[in-house]
Structure 1
Amino acid sequence: MALIHCAGCGKRISDKAPTCPHCQYARDSDPEVAERAGRIRAIRHNQTLMTHSFIALLLFVGGFALWWWGGEAAEGWREPVGTGAMALGFVFYLVTRVRIILARRRA
Structure 2
Amino acid sequence: MAIAQCPSCNKPISSKHKTCPHCHFDVANMDEESLHREAVRRRVRKQQKIMNYSFLALILFLGGFLYLYWQQPVEGTWEMLATKGAIGVGLVWYLVNRVILVVLKKKK
Q: TM exceeds 0.5?
A: yes
CA-CA distance at 1:2 after TM superposition: 3.8
Q: Provide the rounded CA distance (Å) in 2 between the counterparts of 1:53 and 1:7.
A: 26
In 2, Cα distance between the equivalents of 1:42 and 1:83? 34
Normalising by structure 2, report the TM-score.
0.84
Counterpart check, 1:15 vs 2:15: yes
> Size of the alignment, in residue pairs?
105
Report the RMSD for the aligned CA atoms in angstroms. 1.6
What is residue 104 of structure 2 aligned with on the other side? 103
**Dislocated runs of 4+, deviation >4 Å:** none
Q: Which runs of 5+ in 2 are unaligned?
A: none
Distance 1:78 1:27, change over 3 A: same
Write out aligned runs for 1:18-97 (5 A): 18-31=18-31, 32-70=33-71, 73-75=72-74, 76-97=77-98
Using the alignment, how far apart are the partners of 2:63 and 2:16 within structure 1?
Answer: 50
**Whole-Å Cα distance in 1 between the matches of residues 8 and 86 of structure 2?**
37
Can you give the 5+ residue segments of structure 1 that lack an aligned partner in the other structure?
none
SS in 2 for 1:40: helix
Deviation of 1:29 (Å):
1.2
Q: Distance in 2 between matches of 1:9 and 1:29?
A: 16
- 95-104 or 30-39, which moves further after superposition? 30-39
